[in-house]
Amino acid sequence: MTIRVPKNKNPRYVALGILGRVEAGDAYADILLARELSALKGLDRAFAMELVNGVLRWQIKIDWIIDGFSKIKTKKLEHRVLNALRLGIYQLLFLTRVPPQAAINETVELIKLEGPQRGGAKRTGFVNAVLKMVDTGRAGIVFPVLSREPVEYISIVFSHPAWMVERWIKRYGVKEAIELCQANLKIPPTTLRVNTLRLTRDELIRQLTEEGFRVESTAYSPDGAEVVGRQRLRLSPPDPEDPRYYIQDEASQLVPFLLSPAPGETVLDACAAPGGKTTHIAQLMHNTGLVVAMDRHSGRLKPLKEALKRFEIGIVETTVADATLPLKFQPTLFQEPSWTLSVPKEGFDAVLIDVPCTGLGVLRRKPDIKLKRKVEDIKELSGLQKRLLENLSKYVKKGGRIVYSACTFEPEETEDVVEGFLKKNRDFTLEGGKEFLPASCRELFTGEGYLTTYPHRHYIDGFFAARLRRV
């Protein structure tokens, strides 16, 4: 007898709904997961997250398998049936703790939950048949041959779009392209940035250890702590609302150090949402000075404002503005008519431009990005990045500095943007940043002085950052 779990409390059903909305372009998976998992607790919540992220990581490979067993190919399948198959196959072939019969039966139940009109015997029978064929025929699955079709082999076996694989093979070679794809498929660690306005890293590690976590200092960031395990299975993961820390990858934590904001300075964070780097900048300034944090969309500033309140940061002023246009700082933008914003006429001491980008450096954390991105996006975003850097460079004082950063390593979005800017703007120079980071970070800098990290080389997210000085 099957026990029917309410739809909103069934982790597989919740995961199926999220996958459908991601495919429809409704939102990115991380946003939907944060919004839709409120009804799930503990292990059910963790299982739903595993299902969503696992399917998205391996979707290209899973679709290849479906096409090998199904008479109806993935391009012609009804989306909800296709996503149900993806969930079932992920459980069959990638999760060792789910019995095959449970994976098949529970997936069939997902179709039945839609009711007789949406589900029906034909759909449930089809899903059941395909999953049973995959289960019994798993040993006979055939993939492309690496020596004959390296792009197709890597694309299918390591589940990345062919256009990405082709670019990476040309740049890094076949061996390293495989290593990069493999790194993107690994579940990333939970990395915290300690709120140094409240406690030290050693104090945070001690407290979290007492609470049941196994925690270690990060290799590169002086403010980072990595949760490497839990002493109790049912211990809830670190709370994103905890005022002691901010959940943030180590690579992202390095960017504010490169900016090196000092207490009392004036800083512009031009693309500030969701606020990880903004709050870190304020910490490094010991909550003294001024940080103007802006974003194009008011809704995106909400999590930033919540983080400022949680960390008790009082030096950040938020505003809605388009950073590609001349900036107009008016008190009315801050929704507090009594405030008078002091923006120095000579410009800011420091400007952080963490640009919108393809996000190919953070695929291990946001696997749906690789399914949404097209090669044309690189050129389009490169144009936006150039406009941002050109416009915002006007607001840094003489002798001040800019840090240009992006969570990608594609040349058109990184060094090409910086080098093109420097050729046109002789009053700026590239400034090496090794002195602003610990000695352990020296390996992260290129010969030109760019901070560049890779998930397969450094086991942190892929990031690029350049420090420019106005002379």
DSSP H or E stretch at residue 404: strand 396-406
Nearest to 77 by CA among 68, 67, 87: 67
Residue 131's nearest CA partner among 56, 218, 184, 65 is: 65
C-alpha distances (whole Å) from 224 to each of 159, 197, 311, 386, 394 are: 30, 14, 16, 31, 33
Residue 78 exposure: Cα atoms within 13 Å on the Cβ side: 11
What's the distance, Cα to Cα, between the start and end of the chain in Å?
76
Dihedral sign from CA coordinates of 317, 323, 325, 326: positive
Q: Are the C-beta atoms of residues 218 and 193 closer than 8 Å to each other?
A: no
| Positions marked catalytic | 407
Structure tokens at 467: 């420090």
Per the structure block, which two tokens stand in for 17? 């709904």
Q: Assess contact for 109 and 102: CB atoms under 8 A.
A: no
Burial of 259 (0-12, 13-18, 19+ CB in 10 A): buried
Take residue 354 and report the two structure tokens written for it: 């963490």
Tell me the CA distances in angstroms from 92 to 55, 87, 133, 208, one per residue in order: 12, 9, 11, 35
Q: Nearest 5°: phi and psi at 400? A: -80, 180
The overall longest dimension of the chain from CA atoms, in Å, is 76
Of 348, 353, 328, 326, nearest to 395 (Cα)?
348
